[in-house]
Amino acid sequence: METMYEARGLKKLYGGKPALNGVEFAVQPGRLVGLLGPNGAGKTTLLKISAGLLTPSAGEVRIAGQLPGPATKAMVSYLPDRMALPREQRAEDMVAFYKDFYTDFDGYKAGQMLADLKLDPRQRIGAMSKGTQEKLQLCLVMSRAAGLYLLDEPLGGVDPAAREYILSTILSNYSESAAVIISTHLIGDIEKALDEVIVLKDGAVLTHQSVDALREVNGKSVDEYFREVFKC
Amino acid sequence: MEWNITSGRPVYVQLVEQLEQALAAGVFPPGSRIPPVRELAADAGVNPNTMQRALQELESRGLLQAQRTAGRIVTAENGELTLLRQKRARRLVQDCLTQLRGLGMNEEEIETLLKEVQNGNDV
Amino acid sequence: MLTKLLKHDLRGTGRIMVPVWVGSTALAVLASIMSCFYRSYQWDDRHPLSILTDLFGLTAVLCMMALLLVCVFVCARRFYDLLGDAGYVYFTLPVKPWQHIAAKLVNAVIWTVGTILVMAVQMGLMSGPMNGAVTFSMDFYPGHPGWLALYCIEAVLLVLEGFAVGYLTLYLCMAIGAQWPQHRLLASVVTYFALSFSGQVLMMVTARLTFRHLTRIVDSVEISVQQNPLPTMAAAWGGILLILAAIGAILWAVTQYFIGKKLNLG
């Protein structure tokens, strides 16, 4: 199977300051990859470029061999790091919206997930708590049978019980033909669910290896390794 | 089954150990089918590829058998399992004895203690 | 994809505009009824009901005028929001940039035309009993009804194109303004003024340069009008339509460039 995701020489400058400074890595289908790094390392920027919301200053991102565009957007499911859903819509309206635009959207699964997370489909998004809004966004994103999932901090704004559910959903959604890139701070929760981790530092890839290899070589968890590398 | 994956050691190694333990304890009886990889992985909160590797290792140790279309079953013959059980039991006893000796007990005291606890008399 | 987007936009805009239309028209109806009573009962000017009638009348007229402003604001804001947080949903859809522009533009023109019609209805309601229909100056009517039809078509197209170009200008300013995500609103407003200013300068310069040619064109048009008034006027309007279309196309193309190749959501 061809490489699902590839970043080549990716650079992004914001007024002269580089948010990304030559990022290179590839992700194969069937892999769950963690994108780790301190604040400002460029994780969100990288995911936004991959989702087609930012244009790189140099280099390129290729998804299934293609540059970001409508064709890749049909196979990429992106969870932003912010609340992007319109406040006046109801949860069920958004489910209908996603179903309308994405052929790989599973409305039944979405309904199940909403029920599991105790979300009222008739509730308006503006009336939901922040945590509930985040859960809704995640339901929508995970109800798609995408080839590439880009999840920007999926665990950050939700309670620990929901975090477990989310992780378990990501794992049970697993498909050999799909790749998942998860950017997160909460490494401890998630590292055993990951195949590989990519650690970003100052806009470039510090290391890209499998979780077990990292554990074996360093004799510690990825979380502990991370804390050591980025000690203040 | 209960999973307890800790942080310091490779996940794969821990999965193999804990699966062996489960098999030895009869959590999955001989000849029975074990849940599919994805389910086990989601249950344990680990990566499916890692779980797959662990299951393949158990296969190569003869504890599991892969079936062409229907997942994996626990080997029916008890040879491997018995061996496994014996190995584990031995290790447990060894650990126990080491610790008891570390408490300063001699061999006679240890034997008496063992008999008492076995007969249900807690000291 | 385009129809899906449009359906969504129409519904979203309608959710705001329809209640506004209904409320404003209800007010116009009320004002109209009250002024009927005013005429029949001949209240003295200091009678409280007379004052109320005037108040209602004034409010209804103001509401009617505000309708257009509300419509433009609501429709323009839909595009503006596209380049904000909502963009995280919209620009991840498998939709080409031109389809986003088309959906928002068609939605805006449809609702603007609707609002004008509603305003006309309200105007009719409020001035109803007083005067008759607005008389249509039929200077160019004489002769073939075909010409009338052509003029009507051209007039309608002119109105539609006018609205379209108006909105496209706003869209372009917002698309350029979005290049500074931290100060998007300010940048869009500044771009608007910069664009209008340069537009005016451009027109002045072109007028200067082509002055001689222009006077020649005007002379020949005058002769043509005297000789064949009907085709000339139709052609003149046609010419304006083409120029507007060209301007619209340029505005669209540049907007598409900015939200396509240069998208940088904040």
Last residue of a domain, which of C135, C166, C190?
Answer: C135
| Cβ(A146)–Cβ(A77) below 8 Å | yes
| Of A1-10, A100-109, C156-165, C214-223, the least confident | C214-223
Which chain A residue shows the shortest CA-CA distance from B49? A195
Contact C264 A55 (CB under 8 A): yes
Could you read off the pLDDT of B42-97 as tens digits, one per residue?
889 899 999 999 999 998 988 888 887 778 888 776 677 778 788 888 888 898 88
**One domain for residues B69 and B105:** no
**Tokens representing residue C59 in the block:** 């409010």
Q: Residues C229-257: what's their mean pLDDT?
A: 89
User: Is B47 within 8 Å of A216 when comparing Cβ atoms?
Assistant: no
Looking at the structure, tell me whether residues B57 and B87 fall in a common domain.
no
Asked if A215 lies within 8 A of B11 by C-beta distance, the reply is yes
Instruction: Tell me if A53 and C1 make a contact (CB, 8 A cut-off).
Output: no
Q: Which helix (H) or strand (E) holds C157?
A: helix C145-177
Whole-number average pLDDT of chain A = 91
Residue C192 belongs to what domain range? Answer: 136-266
- Domain boundary, last residue among C107, C135, C163: C135
Please indicate, yes or no, whether residues B72 and B89 belong to a single structural domain of this protein: no
pLDDT greater at residue B6 or residue A181? A181
Question: Are residues B109 and B64 part of one domain?
Answer: no
Strands B72-74 and B33-34: antiparallel
CATH of residue B30's domain is: 1.10.10.10
User: What is the residue whose two structure tokens read 């945590």?
Assistant: A131
How far is C106 from C75, CA to CA, in rounded Å?
10
User: C105 and C3 in one domain?
Assistant: yes
In this predicted structure, the answer to whether residue A113 has a pLDDT above a threshold of 50 is yes
pLDDT tens-place string over residues B110-120: 888 888 888 87
pLDDT computed for residue A159 by the predictor: 85
Bigger pLDDT: A150 vs B63: A150
Is the domain of B67 the same as that of B97? no
C105 with C177, same domain: the answer is: no
CB C254, CB C178: distance < 8 Å: no
Measured distance CA(C208)–CA(B109) in Å, rounded: 116
Same domain for C183 and C88: no
pLDDT for res C138: 46
Q: Rounded distance, CA A29 to CA A39, Å?
A: 27
Closest chain B residue to A215 measured between Cα atoms?
Answer: B10
- Print the domain residue range for B87: 79-118
Pair B15, B57 in one domain: yes
**Three-state DSSP class for C161?**
helix
Kindly state whether residues B68 and B95 are assigned to the same domain: no
pLDDT at C171 over 80: yes
How confident is the model at residue C132, as a pLDDT?
44
Whether residue B3 is contained in a domain is answered as no
CA–CA gap between residue C65 and residue C256 (Å, rounded): 32
CB neighbourhood size of B44 (10 A) = 25
- Domain shared by B65 and B22, yes or no: yes
| Surface of A (203-222) touching B: CB under 8 A | 211-213, 215-216, 219-221
Tell me the pLDDT tens digit for each residue of C44-98. Answer: 667 777 778 888 888 888 888 899 999 999 999 999 999 999 999 999 999 999 9
Q: Which residue of A has its CA nearest to C81?
A: A86
Q: Kindly list the distances between the CA atom of residue A35 and the CA atoms of A159, A229, B111, in Å, as whole numbers in the listed order.
A: 21, 15, 55
CB contact under 8 A, C89 and A86: yes
| Nearest CB partner across the interface for C94, out of A74, A83, A88 | A74
Q: In chain B, how many domains are there?
A: 2
**Same domain (yes/no): C130, C141:** no
Q: How far does A212 lie from chain C, in Å, by closest CA?
A: 34
* Residue C88 to residue A80, Cβ atoms within 8 A: yes
Q: Which tens digit of pLDDT belongs to each residue from B44-56? A: 989 999 999 999 9
Q: What is the largest distance, in Å, between two alpha-carbon atoms of chain B?
A: 56
Examine the domain organization and report whether C159 and C262 are in the same domain.
yes
Lowest average pLDDT, out of A16-30, B70-84, B87-101, C10-24, goes to B70-84
DSSP string, A118-173: T--TTSBGGGS-HHHHHHHHHHHHHTB--SEEEEESSSTTS-HHHHHHHHHHHHHT
Helix (H, G, I), strand (E, B) or coil at C228: coil
Residues C129 and C142 in one domain: no
Same domain, B100 and B64: no
Q: Is the pLDDT score of B123 beyond 60?
A: no
> C152 and C34: one domain?
no
Return d(Cα A195, Cα B47) in angstroms, integer: 6
pTM of the model as a whole: 0.86
pLDDT of residue C140: 46
In a domain, B100, yes or no: yes
Q: Cα distance from C17 to chain A (closest Cα, Å)?
A: 15
Q: Is the pLDDT score of A57 beyond 50?
A: yes
Taking residue A123's Cβ as centre, other Cβ atoms within 10 Å add up to 14
Residue B47 located in a structural domain: yes
Do C127 and C145 have their domain in common? no
| Per-residue exposure over B64-90, b if at least 16 CB sit within 10 Å of its own CB, e if not | beeeeeeebbbbeeeebbeebbeebee
A contacts of B48 (beta carbons < 8 Å) = 32, 171, 174
The minimal CB distance from A168 to the residues B7, B42, B48 is found for: B42
Do B86 and B72 share a structural domain?
A: no
Measuring CA to CA, which residue among C68, C257, C240, C90 is closest to residue C171?
A: C257
| pLDDT at residue C43, rounded to an integer | 67
B42 and B19 share a domain?
yes
Smallest CA–CA distance, residue A210 to chain B, in Å, is 10
The predicted pLDDT at position A202 comes to 87
* Residue of A54, A85, A88 with shortest CB distance to C89: A85
User: In angstroms, rounded to a whole number, what is the distance separating the alpha carbons of residues A203 and C151?
Assistant: 62
Residue C135 has pLDDT above 50, yes or no: no
Residue among C23, C7, C128, C121 at smallest CA distance from C70 = C23
In chain C, how many domains are there? 2
Of the candidates B119, B89, A52, A112, the one whose C-alpha atom is nearest the C-alpha of residue C88 is A52
Task: Please check whether residues B69 and B20 belong to one and the same domain.
Answer: yes
Question: Do residues C90 and C143 share a domain?
Answer: no
Place of tokens 């950017």: A183
Does pLDDT of C134 surpass 60? no
